[in-house]
Structure 1
Amino acid sequence: MISSRITGSHEVMLGKPVVRSTRLTVELLLRKMSEGAMAADLLRMYPQLEMADVEAVAAKR
């Protein structure tokens, strides 16, 4: 486990860091942010996310 919000397991997405209980990789979400997506955009695109998940991903920048 990487944090309470971001986990990594070889069984899920070949061990890439993902938001817990999802298959959304930190890499994907950071790419979306670098392309201009705001937290509200990510929450709308991926309704399974919570604001704390987005904040945890942003902290990985």
Structure 2
Amino acid sequence: MEKQIINIDPEILGGTPVFSGTRVPIKNLFDYLETGESIDYFLDDFEGVQREQVIKVLEMSHKLIETSSSIFV
């Protein structure tokens, strides 16, 4: 069984998707990457998030885009 990567709980930040075991929104990762910051810089700022979690979220996002490409047409 895979470890849960993303947690969505109405009691944590009103249900905003966060990295499991933290209160760090997934959106923060994409905000950092969008502005050109590195994964290492993100991890330095959010010590509770593990590199493996970041990689898994990026892999999940990639897979979602690949399988949903028809919605972008």
Indicate whether the TM-score tops 0.5. yes
Q: Which has the higher contact order (CA 8 A, sep 6+)?
A: 1
Flag structure 1 segments of 5+ consecutive residues without an equivalent. Answer: none
TM-score normalised by length of structure 2: 0.69
* Aligned residue pair count: 59
For normalisation by structure 1, the TM-score amounts to 0.80
* Displacement over 6 Å in runs of 4+: none
Q: Once superposed, what is the RMSD of the aligned Cα atoms?
A: 1.6
Aligned-residue identity in percent: 20
Find the counterpart in structure 2 of residue 12 from structure 1: 12
Q: Which runs of 5+ in 2 are unaligned?
A: 63-73
